[in-house]
Amino acid sequence: MAIYIEITKHYETHEKVAYLYSCDHISWGVFLITKENFALKSVKELEGEKQSFFMLRAWGKVRRTYLTTREFPKEICYAA
């Protein structure tokens, strides 16, 4: 059975965008993406390999959406 990871834009500045990622409405963490080079910077995350893996997948989903639309998505999700 698949789980759904929700990714929601938390805030945006001229240098970076912060996203919350969660599963079943339970926050797993926050990550930052720099606008200049799309570098991923973990801000806060729960312990465990699973959450780190899903953070990388969430970053990839945001990146692909941005490359397609040229806009940072406000809210997206994916099945893991």
The total domain count for the chain is 1
Asked if 32 and 20 touch (Cβ cutoff 8 Å), the reply is no
What range does the domain containing 16 cover? 4-79
Spatial CA neighbour of 33 closest among 11, 50, 49, 1: 11
pLDDT tens digit string along 17-66? 999 998 887 888 899 999 999 998 877 766 666 677 888 889 999 999 99
Burial of 54 (0-12, 13-18, 19+ CB in 10 A): buried
Total-model pTM: 0.85
